[in-house]
């Protein structure tokens, strides 16, 4: 490292400003996701895994010193003999999960998304994906769900993992998605990478669509609308639905297509809905606009010759700031108000 680069490394980074000309307004580093008006369920992943494990003795849980922070502590407390604490060693975590899968177990391996994508990628590729082993990798703090800055914000994990053969990728929206995806991915014959919302997770989808059921590989229309089609995944489906309610007050009809499975993508449903004439198509994801859902949908549309007006809502191609989540979500355009404002401006 040169003296010049060393100096730049330790320079204070300039925070981007919001439309009102203000930067972060609080020093708080972590906060709950804004989900006003929604019921929440505590640790839906942990409880769903325990329920499934009671019916299937092959299920084991592993983590890299993050059981409490991936809701796997619920499983550890219920089934201590089937829980493995691997320490802060993500490569060992993934290798051990692969070995257990080879011996006929059904491993669920948890860590933070940044650690799986950046530190353990080669081990996931070589030990799990290349061998097509049924390891379920379930990772907390996807995208901008922590205020701890670039070291913990997995803003590029979808881009990293989408290119990995054999790997199914799931980005659930809420507690319903998470609870129902656990048995679905357990039944899947192959490796799965899941983004995880942890702690108190809102119940969103059944509020808007009471008969909603998670189906691996399938996109589902949660709300219809004549003017705009938002194709969303993860927590951005919640934000899209809330923005749709807000925009309806202005007479703007917004449809929301929820895409919980990023790979394989439900091309048929996306093409059917995007092919309906006259609607602006917008993708929304809690991920960089590089290499995620937006680019996957754009490729799907262009290669099929479907060319509606198209826009993307996502995180910028940048290392993001630290701070309180409500402030950061507003700053980077993924809060409900900012989503609604962007859609209104594009019409």
> Is the pLDDT score of 5 beyond 50?
no
CA dist 267 and 299 (Å) reads 10
265 and 170: one domain? Answer: no
Give the mean model confidence (pLDDT) for residues 136-141: 98
Give the mean model confidence (pLDDT) for residues 190-204: 96
CA 26 to each of CA 23, 93, 145, 155: distance values in angstroms, whole numbers, following the listed order:
9, 36, 16, 22
125 and 236: one domain? Answer: no
Of 157, 173, 202, which closes a domain?
202
32 is a domain residue? no
The pLDDT-based confidence of 157 (bands split at 50, 70, 90) is very high
pLDDT at 37: 85
Indicate the Cα dihedral angle 60, 69, 65, 111, nearest 10°. 70
188 and 227: one domain? Answer: no
> Is the pLDDT score of 27 beyond 90?
no
Give the mean model confidence (pLDDT) for residues 106-117: 98
72 and 99: one domain? Answer: yes
pLDDT at 339: 98
Q: What is the CATH number of the domain that holds 93?
A: 3.40.50.970
305 and 195: one domain? Answer: no
Do the beta carbons of residue 177 and residue 260 sit within 8 Å? yes
| Structural domain span for residue 337 | 214-346
177 and 198: one domain? Answer: yes
Q: What is the rounded average pLDDT for all residues in the chain?
A: 92
CA dist 131 and 46 (Å) reads 27
19 is a domain residue? no
Q: Specify the DSSP class assigned to residue 126.
A: I
235 and 191: one domain? Answer: no
**Each residue's pLDDT tens digit, 330-339:** 999 999 999 9
CA 13 to each of CA 27, 123, 149, 154, 320: distance values in angstroms, whole numbers, following the listed order:
15, 33, 12, 19, 10
Give the mean model confidence (pLDDT) for residues 242-257: 98
Q: Compute φ and ψ for 11, nearest 5 degrees.
A: -70, 145
3 is a domain residue? no
145 is a domain residue? yes
Give the mean model confidence (pLDDT) for residues 298-303: 98
154 and 220: one domain? Answer: no
pLDDT at 34: 58
> Is the pLDDT score of 197 beyond 90?
yes
Token pair listed for 47 = 């409880």
Domain count, the chain: 2
253 and 190: one domain? Answer: no
**Each residue's pLDDT tens digit, 50-89:** 999 999 999 999 999 999 999 999 999 999 999 999 999 9
273 is a domain residue? yes
129 and 268: one domain? Answer: no
> Is the pLDDT score of 16 beyond 50?
no
21 is a domain residue? no
104 is a domain residue? yes
Q: What is the CATH number of the domain that holds 323?
A: 3.40.50.920
Do the beta carbons of residue 97 and residue 72 sit within 8 Å? no
226 and 107: one domain? Answer: no
Of 202, 227, 252, which closes a domain?
202
pLDDT at 36: 72
28 is a domain residue? no
Q: Which residue has the higher pLDDT, 156 or 31?
A: 156
The pLDDT-based confidence of 33 (bands split at 50, 70, 90) is low
Give the mean model confidence (pLDDT) for residues 28-49: 78
220 and 301: one domain? Answer: yes
Of 202, 236, 257, which closes a domain?
202
The pLDDT-based confidence of 24 (bands split at 50, 70, 90) is very low
């Amino acid at each position: 490292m040169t003296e010049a680069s060393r100096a730049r490394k330790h320079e204070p980074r300039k925070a981007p400003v919001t439309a009102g000309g203000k930067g972060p307004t609080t020093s708080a580093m972590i906060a709950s996701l804004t989900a006003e008006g929604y019921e929440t369920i505590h640790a839906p992943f942990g409880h769903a895994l325990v329920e499934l494990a009671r019916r299937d003795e092959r299920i084991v849980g592993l983590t890299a010193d993050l059981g409490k922070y991936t809701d796997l502590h619920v499983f550890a407390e219920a089934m201590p003999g089937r829980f493995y604490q691997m320490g802060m060693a993500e490569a060992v975590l993934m290798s051990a999960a692969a070995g257990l899968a080879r011996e006929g177990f059904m491993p669920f391996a948890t860590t933070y998304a940044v650690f799986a994508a950046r530190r353990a990628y080669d081990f996931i590729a070589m030990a799990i994906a290349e061998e097509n082993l049924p390891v379920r990798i379930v990772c907390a703090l996807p995208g901008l769900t922590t205020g701890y800055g670039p070291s913990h914000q997995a803003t590029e994990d979808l881009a990293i993992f989408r290119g990995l053969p054999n790997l199914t990728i799931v980005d659930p929206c809420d507690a319903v998605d998470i609870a129902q995806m656990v048995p679905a991915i357990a039944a899947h014959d192959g490796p799965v990478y899941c983004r995880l919302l942890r702690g108190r997770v809102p119940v969103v989808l059944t509020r808007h669509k009471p008969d909603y059921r998670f189906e691996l590989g399938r996109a589902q229309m949660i709300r219809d609308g004549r003017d705009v089609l938002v194709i969303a995944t993860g927590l951005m489906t919640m934000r899209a639905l809330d923005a749709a309610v807000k925009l309806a007050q202005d007479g703007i009809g917004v449809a929301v297509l929820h895409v919980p499975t990023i790979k394989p993508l439900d091309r048929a449903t996306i093409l059917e809905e995007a092919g309906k004439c006259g609607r602006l198509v917008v993708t929304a994801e809690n991920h960089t606009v590089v290499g995620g859902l937006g680019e996957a949908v754009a490729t799907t549309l262009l290669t099929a010759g479907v060319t509606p007006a198209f826009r993307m809502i996502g995180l910028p191609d940048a290392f993001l700031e630290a701070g309180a989540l409500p402030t950061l979500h507003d700053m980077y355009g993924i809060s409900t108000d900012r989503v609604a404002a962007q859609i209104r401006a594009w019409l």
